[in-house]
Structure 1
């Protein structure tokens, strides 16, 4: 068992990591080029997540630097109570112990998610996808160097080079204690982990996010939000998939035509219900199954809807429980929508692309949970803790 590292050591390791990422920047990008060349798949969002360029390295450096500046999430007093018998009782945050992060194609997870888990006092086990092995191993070498320089065991960050069978065996019968598993990836990965894991799993769920254009929407805002949420980063789980347009929207026809023409500039494939399909450039929605799908592609589905209540019901039926937005100038309608839509983040007149730890003030996130326990939405540093009771007495018995 590794004894909890002092906050000074944890911060020093993170700052050393920032220094090493800068120093090894060219090498990381070069090694990543090999991973990109070896990737034979045709999943454009997977390729996008696999790629490491200067901007990605900058983000990694910013993430560990910011983590080092944040308060220690471990040992924070949540509750205190003086018992009648004189005992002093405290409840404080505590680290989980060992956190296993299983992820696909994203070398930045090896820095950012591992950094959050490490700062919150946990030992890290990393199991990346085979497509990013070389990039990941290079980054883990840097973790080990940062740990060694600060007199800490390299066991704090361990990379598991397992194939699928070995991963399944490890999930079912771990060869070391694992307290929490965080899968970062598509629905198949999440289902695989849930099926085989023997300890708690934080589900970083799918997107399938909706924007509802209410009848009193500001159409310029609606257009701007939809285009941003759909096209800015198609591989993100906070990207937009579905648009519901109020049947009573003012200038509805003009708005739909403008929306189609803007989406076509980005080569977005547009699917529409019977009301929207009559516009040029729109394909028919073949089945209701489409409404359940997260596209992670330049693809969108648009339908007309009768009211805010109908929009809420549709979103609650089909969405992934991640993010949804209402575009309206009517505050009361926005309030009803936001209180009743069952997603981790709800927006009024803003893009779903903000469901992100950095954007929502957490500094970064380990995952974006669509579970309701123990934290929903972006899981930041302060959420990656459990708690413990500290009771001080002088001989009290019950």
Structure 2
């Protein structure tokens, strides 16, 4: 199990898995309907993430095909040095070993994240949520079929059907070596994992993203970007939660009213700071603590700021470190904003909904990290590796 699989075998498994998903498309969708029927429906965002439809299956297949076409992330030379004593020293990328992925309600993670971990030479442990258990078990059975067809042990992909207590016990006293844990989900899941884990954890999944409408903004672009960021998919971590309007925008009050009207057409609940509430008539926020919240719902908070420095300061105080966008015609304002906002992805005149491994050209993602070690933002195939040093000598001693 510890010997890394040749890249040809890893790619063959990924392509076989893509074929099996196509063959079993109807069966998978039918099984997923059982998961949906069993789900209470209490959380709209959770339900959207749980659904497996044709578009989701297409995405899973495309992700596997793209992964198979990418070069091997393992064994890439990152540094070369020849010592004065003649030793040849190089640093190369290396697989972690075993990666545990803990996630909620998203069967597509069982394919996409599993594929990225496998392609980068790792054994995968998958711990999905109880709400998607039937869909996940079906997908894992396809993984095992793909492995067997390629004459590879099914131990490379393992599903942990654990409840919360069993998961905690495994995190604290793992029954096998785990080298890295990636929790994908809400803040409670991330806190739970970090609290109990005994190996490194990459934090992923919290959004609370901001759009700042600068004094020099193209207001039609601002409107379109905000509506897209908030309404195109509420259940994802790159969705928009907060808008800041510069009071130096000419007739900012008219723009604020127009924005509120547009958002309400999409049934978005709009809350405002004191200025926005006064001008537009929306309900005022009850506490500044709401600026810290990620909603995953048809809900947004709009506030006002006086210029770039105040916008940057407010975003750095409250945002989740995920994504922030400035809408402006001024390149200088954009550069100041992008260099000083402390987030994994900073935008100029574009929607935060693009923070995604596929959209960034990575061919999918394991997660979107808001940590700064060891990788920030979308974690693609080339980031899911550690490294080690290779030293070639001829009897040298120090």
- The 8 Å contact of residues 242 and 301 in structure 1, kept in 2 or not, is answered as yes
Within 2, Cα distance between the matches of 1:236 and 1:281? 29
Within 2, Cα distance between the matches of 1:256 and 1:272? 10
- The 8 Å contact of residues 205 and 320 in structure 1, kept in 2 or not, is answered as no
Within 2, Cα distance between the matches of 1:175 and 1:41? 35
Within 2, Cα distance between the matches of 1:281 and 1:51? 37
Within 1, Cα distance between the matches of 2:205 and 2:281? 31
- The 8 Å contact of residues 67 and 115 in structure 1, kept in 2 or not, is answered as yes
Within 1, Cα distance between the matches of 2:280 and 2:225? 22
Aligned to 2:366: 366
Aligned to 2:193: 193
CA offset at residue 287 of structure 1?
A: 0.5
Partner of 1:40, secondary structure, is coil
Structure 1 residues 73-118: Cα deviation after superposition (integer angstroms, max 9, x where no partner): 0000001111122211111000000000000000000000000000
Residue pairs, 1:51-90, within 5 angstroms: 51-90=51-90
1:25 aligns with 2:48: no
Partner of 1:102, secondary structure, is strand
Within 2, Cα distance between the matches of 1:304 and 1:389? 51
Partner of 2:65, secondary structure, is helix
CA offset at residue 281 of structure 1?
A: 5.5
Aligned to 1:114: 114
Aligned to 2:331: 331
Aligned to 2:247: 247
Partner of 2:275, secondary structure, is coil
1:259 aligns with 2:264: no
More moved, 41-50 vs 276-285 = 276-285
| TM-score normalized by the length of structure 2 | 0.99
| TM-score normalized by the length of structure 1 | 0.99
Structure 1 residues 115-164: Cα deviation after superposition (integer angstroms, max 9, x where no partner): 00000000000000000000000000000000000011000000001110
Within 1, Cα distance between the matches of 2:338 and 2:389? 36
- The 8 Å contact of residues 215 and 247 in structure 1, kept in 2 or not, is answered as yes
Structure 1 residues 220-259: Cα deviation after superposition (integer angstroms, max 9, x where no partner): 1100100000000001100000000001111312211211
CA offset at residue 280 of structure 1?
A: 4.7
1:215 aligns with 2:215: yes
Aligned to 2:344: 344
Within 2, Cα distance between the matches of 1:11 and 1:205? 28
Aligned to 1:353: 353
- The 8 Å contact of residues 256 and 280 in structure 2, kept in 1 or not, is answered as no
- The 8 Å contact of residues 357 and 380 in structure 1, kept in 2 or not, is answered as yes
Aligned to 1:101: 101
Partner of 2:286, secondary structure, is coil
Within 1, Cα distance between the matches of 2:205 and 2:64? 24
Within 2, Cα distance between the matches of 1:353 and 1:43? 21
Aligned to 2:288: 288
Structure 1 residues 158-189: Cα deviation after superposition (integer angstroms, max 9, x where no partner): 00011100000000010000000000000000
Within 2, Cα distance between the matches of 1:205 and 1:286? 26
Within 1, Cα distance between the matches of 2:227 and 2:288? 24
Aligned to 1:183: 183
Structure 1 residues 34-60: Cα deviation after superposition (integer angstroms, max 9, x where no partner): 000000141100000000000000000
Aligned to 2:379: 379
More moved, 1-10 vs 160-169 = 1-10
Q: Matched residue pairs, number?
A: 398
CA offset at residue 396 of structure 1?
A: 1.6
Within 2, Cα distance between the matches of 1:274 and 1:394? 73
Partner of 2:10, secondary structure, is helix
Partner of 1:278, secondary structure, is helix
Q: How much is the aligned-residue C-alpha RMSD, in angstroms?
A: 0.8
Aligned to 1:317: 317
CA offset at residue 351 of structure 1?
A: 0.4
Within 1, Cα distance between the matches of 2:382 and 2:41? 37
Within 1, Cα distance between the matches of 2:222 and 2:261? 14
- The 8 Å contact of residues 270 and 300 in structure 1, kept in 2 or not, is answered as yes
Within 1, Cα distance between the matches of 2:107 and 2:113? 10
Within 2, Cα distance between the matches of 1:149 and 1:302? 54
Aligned to 1:7: 7
Aligned to 1:202: 202
- The 8 Å contact of residues 270 and 281 in structure 1, kept in 2 or not, is answered as no
Flag structure 1 segments of 5+ consecutive residues without an equivalent: none
